[in-house]
Structure 1
């Protein structure tokens, strides 16, 4: 009888010890998993912060590059032309020669017209008047027409979203215009492409922009492409208007990007 009682006590103690070990093990693994999840969450949050910093850096660098370009344009075009006008005025000596006076008048008018044109072009690059007064569709069409006429690139524009584009806020229209402008500039400068296609459609109350060229493409590493300043600048503009983009996998057949933007 005593042995039986002792055995029961032993079994109870072993059961309690086993239960205790199970509870301790459960707590240990639970804490370990929570710490692991916390580290993963912290790593993900840090990656998001780093990505936002990269986007901000790209925006700042883009703005600085734009300021530098505008300053260079003012110096090379307006500044040089104005200096030539000043030199022409200094060299002119009034007299009785009617022909010389007429030539001087015509020359100064021509130079002033060039200055006005240069200033207008710089102003247009800063804030396209067509975009403000006539909307995104007209601005895209005008920009594509200018590039087509220059012979630098052949652009096929298909717009099936005319009415939807008229409803877009100016901020959204400006961002999308700058994105397409950036894409076209990249195609002209870096891709070696001869043709580009821009398709605009409405799908489920979303504006879909499909852009592609027949150039050499960027690289097979999509993540490396996204880290480029040009793509980061594009991503930051789209992020500000709650738009998204998808880079099509590299296939050696040019560059292809799909953009989705809310209409409202």
Structure 2
């Protein structure tokens, strides 16, 4: 009975940690979306609204009307593009339709084309499409790691490997960036490691980070 009680206590703690991790992750996602909506779409729609009001100005010349109309069309198009980008960020269509492997391939292609970073992706696992609700967390983890590699670590090369390690499905992510001091990692808020740890906890896995200054960074997580 003591063993059974201890097991139930551990199970309860694990479930509580997963729930807390889920809440942290959801709130982080909500904050990011709210910021995108406020900073990007709202600002563009404000310009559209202002120019619509300008059209009611008396005695406008045809040239003024043409310029105002051009601005309205331009910023409406920008708002639509921002809306598509945010929607794609929330749930990439390729991930929903074709699964995690295709989603990561598209992510790597985007990184190669838009950021100038060379990404090497190798997958020795078979992702079950039925687990796609969990796979979104893996996708988000890779997004966060890539963002850190490009914006903070100044990396020019990224490696992503999925394989079986110690009987667990594992992802090994590494870059050739400037690295970081592991002792400062716990106090760092800019690396998004809290988000990553939360998502790994939801996947019932563990995560480890190896890095040193000017020697890149390696993040290993299983699920």
User: Shorter-chain-normalised TM-score: which range?
Assistant: 0.7 to 0.9
Matched, 1:257 2:219: yes
TM-score (norm 2): 0.73
1:206 to partner: Cα distance: 4.3
Q: Hey, which of these two has a bigger chunk of helix by percent? A: 1
Instruction: Note if contact 2:24-2:198 (Cα within 8 Å) is conserved in structure 1.
Output: no
Kindly name which structure, 1 or 2, has the bigger radius of gyration based on alpha carbons. 1
State the match for 1:161 in structure 2.
Answer: 124
Q: 2:203 aligns with which of 241, 245, 252?
A: 241
Structure 2's unaligned 5+ residue stretches are 1-5
User: Matches of 2:134 and 2:193 in 1, distance apart?
Assistant: 18
Seen in structure 2, the aligned counterparts of structure 1 residues 85 and 158 have a Cα distance that, compared at 3 Å, is same
User: Matches of 1:98 and 1:249 in 2, distance apart?
Assistant: 62
State the match for 1:82 in structure 2.
Answer: 45
Question: In the TM superposition, what are the counterparts of 1:1-264 in structure 2 within 5 Å?
Answer: 56=20, 63-92=26-55, 106-151=70-115, 154-161=117-124, 164-167=126-129, 169-202=131-164, 206-221=168-183, 225=185, 230-248=192-210, 250=212, 253-261=215-223
1:118 to partner: Cα distance: 1.0
Q: Deviations over 1:201-255 (max 9, x none)?
A: 356874332111112222244xx63575533332221122223333336485111
Structure 1's unaligned 5+ residue stretches are 1-40
User: Matches of 1:260 and 1:122 in 2, distance apart?
Assistant: 28
Instruction: Note if contact 2:211-2:217 (Cα within 8 Å) is conserved in structure 1.
Output: no
TM-score (norm 1): 0.63
Seen in structure 2, the aligned counterparts of structure 1 residues 99 and 72 have a Cα distance that, compared at 3 Å, is same
Seen in structure 2, the aligned counterparts of structure 1 residues 235 and 120 have a Cα distance that, compared at 3 Å, is same
Instruction: Note if contact 1:208-1:260 (Cα within 8 Å) is conserved in structure 2.
Output: yes
* RMSD, aligned CA: 3.8
The alignment covers a number of residue pairs equal to 211
* Larger CA deviation: 80-89 vs 120-129: 120-129
